[in-house]
Amino acid sequence: MEYTNAWLNYKTVDHIRFPFDTICMESGGTVMERAADELVLAAEKLAKTALCRIADIAEMGRRSSCPGKNTIFLGIPKKRGERPADAGAFRIRMEESGLHIQGGDESGVLYGVFELIRLMQTASPNLAKLWSGKLAIEKSPSNPLRMLNHWDNLDGSIERGYAGSSFFFADDRIIVSERTRAYARLAASVGINAVVINNVNVKNAATRLITEQYFPELDALARIFGAYGIRLYLSLNFAAPMELGGLDTCDPLDRKVQAFWKKKMHEVYAAVPELGGFLVKADSEGRPGPFTYGRNHADGANMLAEAVAPYGGRIIWRCFVYNCSQDWRDRKTDRARAGYDNFMPLDGKFADNVILQIKNGPMDFQVREQVAPLFSGLRATNQMLEVQAAQEYTGQQRHLCYLIPMWKEVLGFKTYAGGADGATADTVADIVSGRLYGQKNCGMAAVANTGADENWTGHDLAAANFYGFGRLAFDTELSAEEIAREWIACTYGNNAEIMRILLPMLTESWQIYESYTSPLGIGWMVNPSHHYGPNVDGYEYDRWGTYHRSDCLGMGVDRTKKGTGYTAQYNEPNASMYENMETCPEELLLFFHHVPYRYRLKSGKTLIQHIYDSHFEGAMKAQAMLERFEELKELLEPEVFERIRARLKHQSDHSKEWRDRVNTYYYRISGIPDEKGRTIY
């Protein structure tokens, strides 16, 4: 299958001044080699300049073909004080001798090179300032771990994949191909430094990934990734001692089980020394875990952590643990509470090389959720934020939904973990970066949205979420708009008209999607299992703990003290803010409260009127996006234009289906007509 180079296509060139003819590599290493390759390629494509490559300054004198005056130096300063301090950090500055791109390590140099390339792609005014020495750029990654979690199965399918089949696996084999390298390059260009290649639901052949059958290909993948500064990780089956080792238990406190894992990890790391570690989904949605043996999650995680510690491995342990066999009649059990209830009592009990991976919200990647309260609670445990670039509940890469604005809100959420006076910097970004508690093992992960489709992400515009996740994880201070601008310019060239049309489409798309699907924090209302398209009661009488509790008087779930008590999991003043209907942020109102249809919102509208209006307006905006996009017909490649147009057309039609299903449901159940007299069925 063919594939594009996405935002690294270097197709459209603006005239940029690039006053260099030589690259000098001051130190070696595979990642540095890649960095130099990238710079040579970009200079050729974007500035029509052939850079001459030399190994050191001495060589410069010996080669007449290299004038050597206008040199870019790539290196890691030997003296500690002169070196950017963090792994992945870099500095770009002009000196007497030439332009210096210096890294804290080899990855830092690679990121510095990609930063420079990005400035070239976007024809940034900062280039001139760099060349003249007026500007020096220094960047250090916000998060130590910047990870992608692929939910790829060994048969080649992808759980919640919307961009074709896997390019890592087929027919229970690992694929090692040029495409893997192209993927690693894209990921590294935005700062990704860790990749889990297999689904967290580890079954069948995937359980055997940690056996010698797969070692040679795993090692090959680890090397391909390693050349771009990316660590390979695997998802693990907690039941492997039984399924692979023939034991009769997986009890983490059982000596035989512990010995199994130690021996296993010894084998795995001997064959794949560069492996970063493992991601584990345990006691969740049918996956085995420590609960079966009356043990807790610290027992489970620490046992694995001990087995990988000698090799510098990490265990990333997911907190997506809840009762998925709930009775819908039971109003006390609350899935939203589960993460906090299960993990808060274990704070401080996890080994140093364990990281808890926490989904952004307490439920499951809905179009809007409040931030999971676990971030506000845990103080002595390494934490990682998990978001979902794969658009499971946000339009499955058939609807446009640029997710960076959502992730920005999550990162910016003030937890008050530093105290109710609010004096401490204690946002989610402060926590997962490790700044607040001085942690090193932490960061951000996204469920990846890529697959074997030519354009990587099914919807061409969904690539902005892949790009944006990396950029945001590297620099959480970037705004959603800056990231969108960069992505548009890098992908489609610096064209003002393209920017004028695409930028608002991206930046408004999340709210548009929310408005015609499930506004005010209610969530769900999708068809069960595949999770696409409207079905208000799809999950209402099911076992998954995802209810809207609508009746003839009102809707929403009471999670206050009188209800499930969930609000108390937040620190003050957040807890009181959510507890009180008047102060609860309206976009989350129905998540926290059961609200009468005639309740007046701040806008003066009743709840029911808001629901009608939101769905009518959302569907209109989806149609308007399609119409706006048509203006780009002459400016995009015909194939690209058609691909995007077809999806926007589907979105526009499908948004009307959403509108009519949801509005009709609430009109019938409430009996309250639309004030504006529009058609409701």
Stretch that binds ligand GCW, among 62-70, 194-202, 415-423, 558-566 (CB under 6 A): 194-202
Residue 392 designated active-site: yes
If the CB atoms of residues 392 and 579 are measured against ligand GCW, the closer one turns out to be 392
Residue appearing with tokens 């769900």:
524
Give the C-alpha distances (Å, rounded to integers) separating 182 from 5, 168, 179, 188, 662. 7, 12, 5, 10, 42
Q: Which neighbouring-strand residues pair with 235?
A: 279
CA distance 319 to 341: 10
Contact status: 151 vs ligand GCW (CB under 6 A): yes
Quick note: the x/- pattern for ligand GCW over 266-285, rule CB under 6 A, is: ---------------x---x
> Would you say 159 or 274 has its CB closer to ligand GCW?
159
* Shortest Å, Cβ 72 to ligand GCW: 43
Amino acid at 70: N
Nearer to ligand GCW, 194 or 279 (CB): 279
In the complex with ligand GCW, which residue's Cβ is closer, 109 or 446? 446
Is residue 634 a contact partner of residue 641, using CB atoms and an 8 Å limit?
no
CA 404 to chain centre: 9
Residue 593 Cβ vs ligand GCW, minimum distance, rounded to whole Å: 24
Q: Which of 364, 430, 460, 613 forms a contact with ligand GCW (CB under 6 A)? A: 364
CA distance 185 to 146: 15
Of the listed pieces 197-205, 464-472, 534-542, 666-674, which binds ligand GCW according to CB under 6 A? 197-205
Q: Does 285 qualify as catalytic in the annotation?
A: yes
User: Closest separation between CB of residue 530 and ligand GCW, Å?
Assistant: 9
Catalytic residue among 82, 285, 477, 642: 285
Amino acid at 25: M
Which letter, b or e, does each residue of 628-660 get, where b requires 16 or more Cβ atoms within 10 Å of its Cβ? Answer: ebeebeeebeeeebebbbebbeebbebbbebbb
Q: Which residue has the tokens 């300054």?
A: 57
Q: Which of 660, 630, 631 is nearest to 646 (CA)?
A: 630
Give the shortest CB-290-to-ligand GCW separation in angstroms: 17
Residue 201 makes contact with ligand GCW by CB under 6 A: yes
Q: Under rule CB under 6 A, which residues in 605-634 are in contact with ligand GCW? A: none
Query: Which residue in the list 392, 426, 460, 514 is annotated as catalytic?
Result: 392
Among residues 37, 59, 86, 159, which is the contact residue for ligand GCW, using CB under 6 A? 159
Nearer Cβ to ligand GCW (286/422): 286
Which residue, 285 or 653, has its beta carbon nearer to ligand GCW? 285
Q: Which is nearer to ligand GCW, 126 or 201 (CB)?
A: 201
State both tokens at 661.
Answer: 């299903």
Residue 158 or 462 having the CB closest to ligand GCW: 158
Residue 254 appears among annotated catalytic residues: no
Among 32, 46, 200, 351, binds ligand GCW (CB under 6 A): 200
Residues 98 and 104: their CA atoms lie apart, in Å, by 19
As a whole number of angstroms, the distance between CA 446 and CA 385 comes to 8
Residue nearest to ligand GCW (CB): 364
3-state secondary structure 423-488: CCCCEHHHHHCCCCCCCCCCEEEEECCCCCCCCCCCCHHHHHHHHHHHHHHHCCCCCHHHHHHHHH
Shortest distance, position 124 Cβ to ligand GCW, whole Å: 38
Contact segment (CB under 6 A) with ligand GCW among 195-203, 460-468, 492-500, 587-595 equals 195-203
Q: Contact region for ligand GCW (CB under 6 A) — 198-206, 510-518, 575-583, 622-630?
A: 198-206
C-beta of 102 vs 235, nearer to ligand GCW: 235
364, 386, 426, 514: which one is catalytic? 364
Task: Candidates 193-201, 234-242, 452-460, 648-656: pick the segment binding ligand GCW (CB under 6 A).
Answer: 193-201
Q: Which of 320, 402, 474, 597 binds ligand GCW (CB under 6 A)?
A: 320
Contact between 540 and 526 (Cβ < 8 Å): no
Distance CA 308, CA 442 (A): 17
Q: State the sign of the Cα–Cα–Cα–Cα dihedral 196, 647, 118, 40.
A: positive
Q: Copy the structure tokens of residue 327.
A: 């009775």
| Burial grade of 29 (CB within 10 A; 0-12, 13-18, 19 or more) | middle
Count of residues near ligand GCW by CB under 6 A = 12
Alpha-carbon gap, residue 147 to 11, rounded angstroms: 28
d(CA 276, CA 365): 26
Minimum separation from the CB atom of position 398 to ligand GCW (A): 17
Instruction: Please answer whether residues 320 and 284 qualify as being in contact, where contact means their C-beta atoms are separated by less than 8 angstroms.
Output: yes
Residues with catalytic function? 285, 364, 392
- List contacts with ligand GCW (CB under 6 A): 151, 159-160, 199-201, 281, 285, 320, 364-365, 392
